[in-house]
Amino acid sequence: MDLHELSVTQAAEGIRKREVSPVELVEALLGRIEALEPELKAWVVVDHEGALAAAKRCEQEAHGDKPLGALHGVPLGVKDIFHAAGLTTTCGSPIFQHRLAPHDATSVARLRQAGAVVLGKTVTVQFAHFDPPPTRNPWNYDRTPGGSSSGSAAAVASRMIPAGLGSQTGGSILRPAAYCGTVGLKPTYGRISRFGVTPASWSLDHVGHLTRTVEDAALLLQVMAGHDPKDQASSPVPVGDYLEAARKRDSAPRLGFVLDEERLATPEVVDHLRQIANRFERAGAEVREVRFPVPMSEIQAVRSLVCEVEASAVHTPLHREHAELYGPEIRAVVEVGQLLPSAVYIQAQRLRRKWRPQVKKMLEGVDCLLMPTVYNVAPDPSTTGSSTFQAPWSLFGQPAISLPSGLSHEGLPLAIQLVAPHFREETLLSAAAWCEAVLDPMPSPC
C-alpha cells in the first residue's frame, strides 16, 4: 500500500512496529500535496520544515524505549481557525493573513502530546461561515467541497492527510464530509475543548474532525476529548472508551429511520437512503421510522437567528474597522445580527429549550437516528451547500457522524448521517462502525 493511502490507525501501528518511517510518511504526503494542491487548493500553509523536523524527532523516539503516544508520527491537518503555535491563524480573512498563533488550541496541544505531526493549516471559509472557499471538490473540481471545513475535507478525501480538524456551527464538519466522501464526526457540545479556536457562535460551536474511517474518528476523539477549564462550555462528563466501541462490530444497532422531510431532498438521495436502510435491515439491524417533532426548516431558522446574533457580538468591533474586507456572506450575517432585537434572540433560545426534549424523545428505544447528511450531492462552487439536515444537531448539541455510503449517477459521493443522545459517542461509534462494515468501501477520488 502506498504511504499516502494509510489511515490514521494503520500509520500509527506501522510506526509503533517500526514498519513505517515517520519521515518517509511525511515526505510522501508532502509529495502528494505538491502534486494536487495547485488545482485542489486545500491548504493555507504547509509547514514543510516544521513537519519534517517533527517527523525526525518522532523517528528517533520510535527507536527508543519510551512508550509512544497514540498518534506518534501521524501527520494531520488543522483547520485555519485553530491556533497552532508558530503558524498563522488567518480564519480565511486578509485581516489576519500575517497573524502568528501564540499557542496551540487545546485540541491541537492534545494531538501533539499524543505524537501527531501538524502538517499545516487547511482552508476554512472566511470566519467559518458561508462565503465560498478557493478549495475544490476532489471528485469534481467544478463542485464545492462544502464548508466551512473545506480544506480538511478535500485534503482527507484526496489522501493528502489521513485526518484533519474541523469545526461545526451549522453543518461545517458533516456537510463537507458528505460532499467529499469522508467520515465526519461532530461530538456532543462541550466534548472537545474550543479553547484556541476562533469563535463563530458561542452556544453553537463544536470541535470535531474528518477522517477516512470510523476507527480513525474514534482514535482522534479519544485523544482530544475531556474537560478543559479554559473553555467555559467544556463538559466534565467522563471520557468513554471510544476506540474500543468503534472496534465492536458484532452487535447490529437499532436505528430510527428519519425521512419524513423527504420533500427537502432530491429523489436520488431519498431512493439511496431507502436502499441503505433496507440493506442495514437485511444485515440484522432493527430499523423503524421516527418523525421529527418540528419541521427542520423551523429548526434551521432558529439556529440561524442564534448564529447571527452571536456572530455579530463576536465580530462587531472588527467589522467596524474592516467591513470592506469581509466577504458578502459573513458581512451579511454580522450586519443582520446587529439589527435583530434582543427579544428575537431570547425567543429563539426559548424555542431551542422547548424543542430540545421533544427531539431527545425521538431517540427513545433506538441507538441512533438514521437520516441523510445532505439533501443533494455537492453543488457548484458558488455555494457551500445547505446545513438544513445538519443544523438540528448543532442547535441541540447531540453527537452526529456522516459516513460515505455510495456514489451518485454523476460519480459524486452520497452519505448517511447517524445521531445519538448526548454524550453517547460510544453508542454512535459502535453503530457507525457496524454500518461502515455493511457499506461498500469508498474509493479514492484521485
Instruction: Per-residue pLDDT tens, the chain, 446 aa: give them.
Output: 899 999 999 999 999 999 999 999 999 999 999 999 999 999 999 999 999 999 999 999 998 888 899 999 999 999 999 999 999 999 999 999 999 999 999 999 999 999 999 999 999 999 999 999 999 999 999 999 999 999 999 999 999 999 999 999 999 999 999 999 999 999 999 999 999 999 999 999 999 999 999 999 999 999 999 999 999 999 999 999 999 999 987 799 999 999 877 788 999 999 999 999 999 999 999 999 999 999 999 999 999 999 999 999 999 999 999 999 999 999 999 999 999 999 999 999 999 999 999 999 999 999 999 999 999 999 999 999 999 999 999 999 999 999 999 999 999 999 999 999 999 999 999 999 999 999 999 999 98
Say whether 56 is catalytic: no
Which residues, 6 or more positions from 355, have their beta carbon under 8 angstroms from its beta carbon?
A: 293, 294, 299, 302, 396
Name every residue whose Cβ is closer than 8 Å to that of residue 263 and which is 6 or more positions away in sequence: none
3-state secondary structure of 123: coil
Establish whether 121 is a catalytic residue: no
Contact 25, 52 (CB under 8 A): no
Q: What is the pTM of this model?
A: 0.98
- What H or E segment, with its residue span, contains residue 183? strand 183-186
Q: Is 290 helix (H, G, I), strand (E, B) or coil?
A: strand
Catalytic residue among 7, 21, 79, 312: 79
The one catalytic residue among 172, 201, 386, 402: 172
Buried b or exposed e, range 408-445, using 16+ CB within 10 angstroms:
beeebbbbbbbbbbbbbbbbbbbbbbbbbebbeebeeb
Catalytic residue among 7, 107, 148, 235: 148
Sequence-distant (6+) residues with CB within 8 A of 46 are 30, 33, 37, 119, 120
Expressed in angstroms, the distance from the first to the final Cα of the chain is: 15
Dist CA 159 CA 212 (whole Å): 9
- 79 included as an active-site residue: yes
How many residues are given for the chain?
Answer: 446
Burial of 179 (0-12, 13-18, 19+ CB in 10 A): buried
Domains and CATH numbers, the chain: 1-290+369-446 (3.90.1300.10), 297-356 (no CATH)
CB 110 within 8 A of CB 197: no
Beta carbons of 398 and 422 less than 8 angstroms apart? yes
